[in-house]
């Protein structure tokens, strides 16, 4: 294992113009307000309101003012009562709109679930037709072209193109095959060609689609730690203001000016942070929804929040930084070895290698040097493992091995072979320095001794603009680490071209896990992408583990996010969505607390100017009467919730910047704006309210 730090952890790099745009707002239609209105009325249930302390206080106040308006009716009391009910309703509407978008997505997903017949393979090799609902974990089913995959599972035999558009929205078919990290299939998708055998890995009702439906509907959404902490703060502020308002009543009576309970309730509602209390749930739901819009399924809101706070990002080289289609492109024989001998040995050593790289070696030899692609009769295969980092074949008294250079060199020494020729080491180094991956081929004879036959060169290409994307992450203060099983020379060349901060070479699953734990022990949050079974431990350990939908079931179970498009670089967008969620919540909290200031100037002088005439100087908005001032503040308090629903759902626009700059912008826009806008809004509303008989 090698961990190299060739670059500074952070830099002042600025995102290039060619870099992807920052996370933009999701689609919002005013029509959604109308269609979500029935759901808002259903949420008036006190049992639902009790989950939100701030809005529960508003609900109780609405009930009390309603009773008082009935007992002692007046225009003032009915106006206050009506707008208090609107405040509760608008808060419910924000949550209902956020949930409504998820329910629309869930409705389309339910169309994927359909009753199908499955061809279950029995132990004796025969096939029986059963209902898809009768399948159990561990069953093996045969699926041919034109048939629907009856359940979630892994391909254990065959290769086929699969239409996953019902899940991912992508019309282009994808390839699913056995023996690699692209073996997972999802129930409800359609096989377009060939034949595969699928081993069922999820019970009915617990499939990937079932979980997607529950998550996008919000049924399984739990409050995140930050959300819980903010709820505690809001509840504490509500209790403080409740005690303060309750104390005003006796104080007014003692001073000889008893206060109308309706005014006291209006004062309480305007003092407590109703704006953020009303929008808090919608912000959390919308954050997960924005990921769904990008075809990323978050298993928990905690993962979305953590994505906004990560410090270290681990990314696989193959398929993430490079295109991932490493293929054998050349053979470099050792001195004294015929090219044909190397080709034959490379083919035999790769027959048991089910990876795309192993298959490409067999194809290269078959195309350029002859030889079939079938397994050798009577041979014993030695499969590739992350520990040995070799694969091969034992046949006719010979042991043929192919793998990482250091592993093969060690194996040759253990078999009593001679020292490795300098020319072979030079070939390994030259291939690595060029950014390729060298695989060494060796053979050991039964008579004793082993020798290196040569080097197979695998080539890969770094994705265009990947350096700009890493510069974008660096501007966010995120350190990037490339993880690869390649040797340090190859890793160094790719890392330099891609522009990552660090790289971990010759990485085993244990090495990945150890690196993540070291980062976390240093107080840093870690994100990682992966698709293979050997990535599962690290995905489970990472604070944000994004599994590829094309990957194995074990990887998807271990991660707390699944990328339906299987694009590992999308983790950059996940980070931006997480940061956008945190910024949106902070911005609206700032705005909510700031706009309370204007309400103080509207209500307090109106309530006490008769008792203390000096307070009239605080009526800087020159509101018409105490009654119109209180009604105007209550109306503004309700309307601002509706005005902020689109922002809560779309999110505050995020651009990479330092924390101090983001805080400064947040205070300037939402702090100052939260102070100024209520003065203007309440004054304009008062111009209308004063025209109502009894208010002027």
Q: How do residues 260-316 score in pLDDT, each as one tens digit?
A: 888 889 888 988 889 898 888 888 777 777 877 787 877 776 778 888 888 898 887
Token code pair at residue 191: 């096989």
Which of 12-16, 391-395, 541-545, 674-678 comes out lowest in average pLDDT? Answer: 12-16
Greater confidence (223 vs 16) lies with: 223
Query: Beta-carbon neighbour count of residue 228 at 10 Å?
Result: 11
Q: Would you say 391 is a known binding-site residue?
A: yes
Token code pair at residue 506: 């010759």
In DSSP terms, 297 is beta-bridged to 562
Q: Would you say 21 is a known binding-site residue?
A: no
Percent of the chain with pLDDT over 70: 85
Q: Would you say 163 is a known binding-site residue?
A: no
Write down the pLDDT at residue 88: 93
Q: Would you say 76 is a known binding-site residue?
A: no
Residue 419: pLDDT above 60?
Answer: yes
Greater confidence (588 vs 151) lies with: 588
Token code pair at residue 218: 């919000």
Local structure of 498: helix, strand or coil? helix
Check if 316 is active-site.
yes
Write down the pLDDT at residue 605: 77
What is the CB-side half-sphere exposure of residue 6 using CA atoms within 13 A?
19
Among 322, 275, 254, 293, residue whose Cα is nearest residue 497: 322
Q: Would you say 535 is a known binding-site residue?
A: yes
Residue 689: pLDDT above 60?
Answer: yes
Write down the pLDDT at residue 255: 66
Run of H or E including 405? helix 405-414
Q: Is the model's pTM score more than 0.75?
A: no
- DSSP letters of 597-633? HHHHHHHHHHHHTTT-GGGGGG-TT--S-HHHHHHHH
Write down the pLDDT at residue 65: 94
Catalytic residue of the set 316, 486, 502, 596: 316
E strands present in 431-536:
437-445, 450-459, 479-483, 502-505, 526-530
Residue 16: pLDDT above 50?
Answer: no
Q: Which residues contact 404 (CB under 8 A, 6 or more apart)?
A: 389, 390, 439, 440, 485, 487, 506
Q: Would you say 357 is a known binding-site residue?
A: yes
Q: Would you say 517 is a known binding-site residue?
A: no
Q: How do residues 492-515 score in pLDDT, each as one tens digit?
A: 888 888 888 988 888 888 888 899
Q: Would you say 210 is a known binding-site residue?
A: no
Inter-helix orientation angle 261-271/225-254, to 10°: 150
Q: What distance in Å separates the CA atoms of residue 171 and residue 186, rounded to the nearest whole number?
A: 15
């Amino acid at each position: 294992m090698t961990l190299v730090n060739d670059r500074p952890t952070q830099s002042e790099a600025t995102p290039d113009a060619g870099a992807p745009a920052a996370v933009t707002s999701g689609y919002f239609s005013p029509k959604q307000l109308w269609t979500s209105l029935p759901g808002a009325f259903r949420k008036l249930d006190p049992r639902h309101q009790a989950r939100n302390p701030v809005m529960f206080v508003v609900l109780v106040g609405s009930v009390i003012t309603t009773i008082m308006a009935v007992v002692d009716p007046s225009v003032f009391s009915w106006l206050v009562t009506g707008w208090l009910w609107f405040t509760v309703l608008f808060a419910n509407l924000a949550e209902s709109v956020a949930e409504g978008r998820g329910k629309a997505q869930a409705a389309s997903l339910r169309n994927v679930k359909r009753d199908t017949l499955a061809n279950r393979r029995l132990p004796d090799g025969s096939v029986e037709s059963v209902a898809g609902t009768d399948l159990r974990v561990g069953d093996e089913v045969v699926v041919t072209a034109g048939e629907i995959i009856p359940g979630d599972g892994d391909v254990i035999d065959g290769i086929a193109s699969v239409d996953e558009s019902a899940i991912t929205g992508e019309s282009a078919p994808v390839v699913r095959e056995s023996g690699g990290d692209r073996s997972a299939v999802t129930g409800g998708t359609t096989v377009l060609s060939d034949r595969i055998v699928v081993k069922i890995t999820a019970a009915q009702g617990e499939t990937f689609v079932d979980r997607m439906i529950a998550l996008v509907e919000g049924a399984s959404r739990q409050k995140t730690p930050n959300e819980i902490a903010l709820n505690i703060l809001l509840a504490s502020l509500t209790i403080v203001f409740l005690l303060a308002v309750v104390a005003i009543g006796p104080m007014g009576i003692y001073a000889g000016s008893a206060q109308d309970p309706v005014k006291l309730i209006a004062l309480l509602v305007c003092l407590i942070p109703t704006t953020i209390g009303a929008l808090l749930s919608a912000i959390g739901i919308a954050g997960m929804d924005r990921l769904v819009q990008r075809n990323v399924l978050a298993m928990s809101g905690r993962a979305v929040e953590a994505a906004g706070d990560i410090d270290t990002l681990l990314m696989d080289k193959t398929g993430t930084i490079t295109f991932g289609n490493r293929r054998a492109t050349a053979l470099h024989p050792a001195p004294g070895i015929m090219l044909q001998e190397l080709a034959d040995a490379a083919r035999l050593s790769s027959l048991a290698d089910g990876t795309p790289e192993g298959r490409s070696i067999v194809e290269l030899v078959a195309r350029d040097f002859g030889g079939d692609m079938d397994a050798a009769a009577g041979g014993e295969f030695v499969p590739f493992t992350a520990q040995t980092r070799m694969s091969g074949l034992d046949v006719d008294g010979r042991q043929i091995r192919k793998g990482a250079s250091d592993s093969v060199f060690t194996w040759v020494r253990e078999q009593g072979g001679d020292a490795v020729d300098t020319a072979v080491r030079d070939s390994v180094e030259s291939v690595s320095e060029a950014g390729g991956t060298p695989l060494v081929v060796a053979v050991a004879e039964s008579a004793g001794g082993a020798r290196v036959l040569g080097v197979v060169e695998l080539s890969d290409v770094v994705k265009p603009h990947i350096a700009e994307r890493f510069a974008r992450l660096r501007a966010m203060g995120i350190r990037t680490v490339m993880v690869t099983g390649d040797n340090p020379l190859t890793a160094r060349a790719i890392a330099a071209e891609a522009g990552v901060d660090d790289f971990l070479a010759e990485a085993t699953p244990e090495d990945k896990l150890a690196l993540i734990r070291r980062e976390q022990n240093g107080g840093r949050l870690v994100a990682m992408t992966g698709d293979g079974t050997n990535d599962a431990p690290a995905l489970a350990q990472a604070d944000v583990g994004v599994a590829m939908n094309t990957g194995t079931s074990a990887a998807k179970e271990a991660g707390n996010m699944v990328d339906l498009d299987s694009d590992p670089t999308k983790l950059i967008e996940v980070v931006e969505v997480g940061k956008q969620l945190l910024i949106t919540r902070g911005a609206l909290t700032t705005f909510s607390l700031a706009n309370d200031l204007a309400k103080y100037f509207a209500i307090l002088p109106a309530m006490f100017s008769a008792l203390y005439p000096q307070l009239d100087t605080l009526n800087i908005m020159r509101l018409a009467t105490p009654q119109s001032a209180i009604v105007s503040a209550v109306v503004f308090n309700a309307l601002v919730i509706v005005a902020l629903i689109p922002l809560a759902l779309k999110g505050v626009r995020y651009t990479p910047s330092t924390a101090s700059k983001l805080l400064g912008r947040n205070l300037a826009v939402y702090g100052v704006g939260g102070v100024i806008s209520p003065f203007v809004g309440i004054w304009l509303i008062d111009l209308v309210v004063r025209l109502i008989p009894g208010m002027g």
